[in-house]
Amino acid sequence: MKRFVTLLVLVAWLLPVASGDNLRPAKGRLLVATELVGGDFFTQTVILLLHYDATGAMGIVINRPTEVEPQELLDDVAPITGYSAPVYWGGPVQMNSLRALLRTDTPPSGAEAIVGSVHQVVIDDALNIAPTDSANLRLFIGYAGWSAGQLDSEMARGSWHVVPASDEHVFAEDPRTLWKRLTRPRELHVAVPLTIQ
């Protein structure tokens, strides 16, 4: 006599290729906002960490180009006139400050290596080296900052996941799609009847 057994199979979470489950925050890694992050500031953001230790963390949002051109902020700096990219919104802290990321294999003296060939440099150095090279120079107004333990608390609540960064992430050709490409797929539970004879 044939016996039929119907099983209920649940398809579990699909993880992204670059899973951050085992990664901790560190300089040169990306924080990708989960759907738990609301509000105007950090919804669907991708943040490149520039600093992380027991004293706190700081980074810059790399997927929010603005409509502002750098000439509007640096109107007295001649080399910037040929720069064709907009300024990026780096975060809500110190919105009167500019930061520059430069992609180069020969960084200027004093440049801080972040990941791969990406360096944080002072604005003057950036403009002297690559004043019109928007493919390898990005300018950011403001930054994101966390006090000691604050980012860890947010991560414990599931607000962020960490993924490895690369030059291609930081200098993405289409930064507005970066969050979607890095975020985890939604959990998918599917009931599938299986018949075993």
The pLDDT > 70 percentage for the chain reads 77
Higher pLDDT, 168 or 71: 168
Other residues' Cβ atoms within 10 Å of the Cβ of residue 87: 22
Q: For the whole model, what pTM was predicted?
A: 0.81
Q: Please return the burial class of 147, using the count of CB atoms within 10 Å of its CB with bins 0-12, 13-18 and 19+.
A: exposed
Q: Are the beta carbons of 148 and 55 closer than 8 angstroms?
A: yes
The residue that leads in pLDDT, 17 or 60, is: 60
Length of the chain: 197
Q: What is the pLDDT of residue 39?
A: 86
The model's confidence at residue 91, banded by pLDDT at 50, 70 and 90, is very high
CATH fold for domain 30-185: VC0467-like (3.40.1740)
